[in-house]
Amino acid sequence: MGGLADYFIRPETVEQLKEVVQRCNENKVGIYVLGFGSNLLIGDEGLRGAVIKLDAEEFAQTEFDGEQVTALAGAELSKLVLTCVERGLSGVEALTGIPGSVGGAVKMNAGGNFGDIGAAVETVTLMDAGGSIYEKSKPELVFDYRRTNIAAKFILNARMSLSEAEPEEVMRTVKEIWIYKKNNQPLNTRNCGCIFKNPRGVSAGALIDRAGLKGLQMGGAAVSEKHANFIVAEKGCKSRDVMRLIDAIKDRVKEQFNIELELEIEIW
């Protein structure tokens, strides 16, 4: 959903990415960095600027070195999880069922009830808005609930530290997580994942459910009957329908429980 961007750019190499950044800076064109679009809502009016997507082959590689894996920004989380299973490496099973890229997952510390990517990441390679490349490692690199202290415009790769395990055991965990998500989340619908962060000690979905909002609809957007922290986009849904519904949910939860829900999704 959402409107058009002025520019949509897919560089094929780091050198091309540097050139794109330089051209944008010279022409005062704003830059948006797109992963796989999970947890993202784009306004109906579109974007005044350049959307850059690192999905070329050079940005989608994963390299293994014993129990270390370096995954580039455009690598697909689901493929990374399965490759680690095949190699008997444990540490990223918590990412099962998250339809994102490694870059996007690191930026927002993606995860769920079973853990998050930040637990495995040791070092990230970054590029700032001026095109300079540098590394950031723990403990300077900090992962918190659905956020990190990464201020750089681009995440180029992440090096993760995993541990050896029996492939059958890791696959059993992956299957358990997948079954849990299939039973508890509206996976076969058009949605952008959890809308709100969980307030400390309480589930946002439970609050929305207790406020009686499951099934609430505005235009083509509806609160999922399966999991109240998901908004499902039905036929003809516009971004403004989702935004109106978000505002209505926040107002009702604030009114009933005096809790301010904070967005987990990003809105452009």
DSSP 8-state assignment for residue 101: B
Tens of pLDDT, residues 133-168 = 999 999 999 999 999 999 999 999 999 999 999 999
Can you tell me the distance from the alpha carbon of 153 to that of 107, in angstroms, rounded to the nearest whole number? 10
For the segment 166-173, the average pLDDT, to the nearest whole number, is 94
Q: Is residue 124 predicted with pLDDT exceeding 90?
A: yes
3-class secondary structure, 191: coil
Sheet holding 221-223, edge to edge: 217-218, 221-223, 231-233
Q: How far apart are CA 184 and CA 47, in angstroms?
A: 34
* Residue extent(s) of CATH 3.30.465.10 domains in the chain: 60-182
Domain with CATH 3.30.43.10 in the chain: 5-57
Burial 81-109 (b: 16+ CB within 10 A, else e): bebbbeebbbbbbbbbbbebbbbbbbbbb
User: d(Cα 213, Cα 209) in Å, to the nearest integer?
Assistant: 6
High-pLDDT (> 70) share of the chain, %: 100
Q: Contact 142/155 with Cβ under 8 angstroms?
A: no
> Is the predicted pLDDT of residue 190 greater than 90, yes or no?
yes
Fold for 204-267, please state it. 3.90.78
Written as six digits, the tokens of 183 are 């039973």
CATH class of the domain defined by 60-182: alpha beta
**Residue 187 pLDDT greater than 90, yes or no:** no
pLDDT of 249 strictly over 90: yes
Please check whether the domain covering 5-57 is classified as CATH 3.50.50.60.
no
C-alpha torsion angle, residues 112, 117, 118, 124 (rounded to 10):
-150
pTM of the model: 0.89
112 pLDDT higher than 90: no
